[in-house]
Chain A
């Protein structure tokens, strides 16, 4: 019985998630669920004057993998630009999670990234706004 997917870090993050909560006046707030299991993740992001992620918070309800993934992802994107978030590689997130996942559980692991990207694509890129002189 190999329980390596439940290594200490995953259980720690499940018990004590990072960046859990909500923001005042985020630049975007987006929520989605995984219809297979009903897991829900909402991610809220506030960009700084430099166009980089200044604050990020998430809320949700789900399995240890989806919840740990949201903590890891929100830690990782601090300081990234909107463009960098849009290009965030899913394999990079899976590497950061660092435990062997079955196909079904990969969906749990990537739910937070799906929510983050959907939110990021839903707002205009401030960099482009500047280029357009707006």
Chain B
């Protein structure tokens, strides 16, 4: 099992106090993870020793920057088992990945009456771009329902996956329930009716071994900042044949082959989708984060999260009046969303913050999910490689204290 003490020493922020004399207990990695020192150092070193624009200069410094920027892409391709680094497009975050596909693929390929299939457990990033596309193209968005235990209603899918469905986009891991969906099976179901499959891997890439060729998905997107990397960069993976056929997303420098006053032609992959000077330091930071996770071993990361999540679900379920959302630990990633009788999630988060514990309160960018559950909000603790059982115990104590404050 992972040596958590050693891992904790890798994260400088874990030495910070939440309030004077109160150590930080960070249980909000699902919103954005903390960064190991190696990532921060790599970005600092880039700016101190290597910075120049990429793909432009003939001089040595620009070549070094280009080589580091492209080297990071190759690392990411290996991390997700892409067949070719050219299938790894740098974007700002998973959200931009969805917008890119909805805009570039969707506008070129959708006809009025076509259908887009999503699920009721999606993050707004995998909802809103498709709703916008559907409104523009006269397409219809449909949703696979979830069951009371927070798993997808697999039996409902065949009726929804009609031949009118052009793309089925779903999350690999729910950011509220933590549900780990059967990605490979869902992709196969989409392909069986001739639809494309896109996977939201924002909550998968940081926590599970990922193999896009095994999934056989057409597109997937994830964010660097949830997987130990910096903000401002993320990845869109797409199958080469699809990316080749798609028009560009944004126009500008670097994405062109030739520009004349009469018109332009596009650069080859992956640069066709990377207009303008990119987030170079961030790409290098993400490459380093990927090295760090590979060093730990994604199987080990997943096993540790299963351990800590099982521990947390048991401890939380013993609190009277607390209702956990989502399936059993066996089927879920490292998140535990819950509600408490007589306490609003905001008040829960405020009280545990006084004990130095950072949890999320709100709808976690999944309003339709909460609406279906008949609640406005939930509290969510999420766990990562540096979370200890002692931290979970402290959360439980703090939640008991919150109940007392609210006379529950």
In the complex, A17→B345 CA distance in Å? 19
Cβ–Cβ contact A64 & B351, under 8 A: no
Known contacts A36-B362, A37-B362; A6/B351 CB under 8 A: yes
> Is residue A38 contacting chain B, with contact meaning CB distance below 8 A?
yes
Most buried by A among B346, B351, B406: B346
> Is residue B344 contacting chain A, with contact meaning CB distance below 8 A?
yes
> Is residue B389 contacting chain A, with contact meaning CB distance below 8 A?
no
> Is residue B377 contacting chain A, with contact meaning CB distance below 8 A?
yes
Selected from A15, A38, A65, the residue in CB contact (under 8 A) with B377 is A38
A108: chain B residues within 8 A (beta carbon): 346
B287: min CB distance to chain A, Å = 34
Contact pattern, B 365-408, Cβ under 8 Å of A = 1, otherwise 0: 00100100000110000000000000000000000010001110
Cβ–Cβ contact B367 & A1, under 8 A: no
> Is residue A2 contacting chain B, with contact meaning CB distance below 8 A?
yes
Which residues of chain A from 1 to 57 have a CB within 8 Å of any chain B CB?
A: 1-3, 5-6, 11, 14-15, 36-40
In the complex, A38→B355 CA distance in Å? 25
Which residues of chain B from 127 to 176 have a CB within 8 Å of any chain A CB?
A: none
Task: Give chain A's interface secondary structure class.
Answer: mixed
> Is residue A118 contacting chain B, with contact meaning CB distance below 8 A?
no
> Is residue B354 contacting chain A, with contact meaning CB distance below 8 A?
yes
Most buried by B among A2, A3, A11, A102: A3
Selected from B22, B344, B363, B407, the residue in CB contact (under 8 A) with A62 is B344
Contact pattern, B 262-281, Cβ under 8 Å of A = 1, otherwise 0: 00000000000000000000
Selected from A1, A2, A61, A102, the residue in CB contact (under 8 A) with B401 is A1
Selected from A1, A2, A11, A63, the residue in CB contact (under 8 A) with B346 is A63
> Is residue A105 contacting chain B, with contact meaning CB distance below 8 A?
yes
A63: chain B residues within 8 A (beta carbon): 344-347
Cβ–Cβ contact B407 & A11, under 8 A: yes
> Is residue B187 contacting chain A, with contact meaning CB distance below 8 A?
no
In the complex, A102→B350 CA distance in Å? 9
Question: Which range contains the number of A residues in contact with the other chain?
Answer: 20 to 34
In the complex, A36→B347 CA distance in Å? 14
Cβ–Cβ contact A11 & B406, under 8 A: yes
B351: chain A residues within 8 A (beta carbon): 3, 6
In this complex, what residue of A is CB-closest to B401? A1
In the complex, A37→B375 CA distance in Å? 11
A5: chain B residues within 8 A (beta carbon): 350
> Is residue B361 contacting chain A, with contact meaning CB distance below 8 A?
yes
In the complex, A38→B379 CA distance in Å? 13
Cβ–Cβ contact B401 & A65, under 8 A: no
In the complex, A6→B342 CA distance in Å? 14
A8: min CB distance to chain B, Å = 10
B340: min CB distance to chain A, Å = 12
Cβ–Cβ contact B363 & A38, under 8 A: yes
Most buried by A among B344, B370, B401, B405: B344
A65: chain B residues within 8 A (beta carbon): 346-347
Selected from B345, B401, B406, the residue in CB contact (under 8 A) with A37 is B345
B367: chain A residues within 8 A (beta carbon): 38
Contact pattern, B 13-41, Cβ under 8 Å of A = 1, otherwise 0: 00000000010000000000000000000
In this complex, what residue of A is CB-closest to B354? A1
In the complex, A14→B191 CA distance in Å? 52
A2: chain B residues within 8 A (beta carbon): 354
Cβ–Cβ contact A3 & B405, under 8 A: yes
Known contacts A1-B354, A3-B405, A38-B362; A61/B346 CB under 8 A: no
In the complex, A39→B376 CA distance in Å? 7
In the complex, A38→B371 CA distance in Å? 10
Cβ–Cβ contact B401 & A15, under 8 A: no
A6: chain B residues within 8 A (beta carbon): 347, 351, 405-406
B359: min CB distance to chain A, Å = 14
In the complex, A39→B377 CA distance in Å? 8
A37: chain B residues within 8 A (beta carbon): 345-346, 361-363, 376-377
Which 5 pairs, one residue from A and one from B, show the smallest C-beta to C-beta distance? A38-B376, A63-B346, A63-B344, A1-B354, A37-B362
Chain B residues close to A by CB (< 8 Å): 22, 344-347, 350-351, 354-355, 361-363, 367, 370, 376-377, 401, 405-407
Q: Could you jot down 24 A-B contacts, CB within 8 Å?
A: A1-B22, A1-B354, A3-B351, A5-B350, A11-B405, A11-B406, A11-B407, A14-B406, A36-B362, A37-B345, A37-B361, A37-B377, A38-B367, A38-B370, A38-B376, A39-B376, A61-B376, A62-B344, A63-B345, A64-B344, A64-B346, A65-B347, A105-B350, A108-B346
Chain A residues close to B by CB (< 8 Å): 1-3, 5-6, 11, 14-15, 36-40, 61-65, 102, 105, 108
Given contacts A1-B355, A6-B406, A62-B376, 15 further A-B pairs with CB under 8 A are: A1-B354, A2-B354, A3-B351, A5-B350, A36-B362, A37-B345, A38-B370, A38-B376, A39-B377, A61-B376, A62-B344, A63-B346, A64-B406, A102-B350, A108-B346
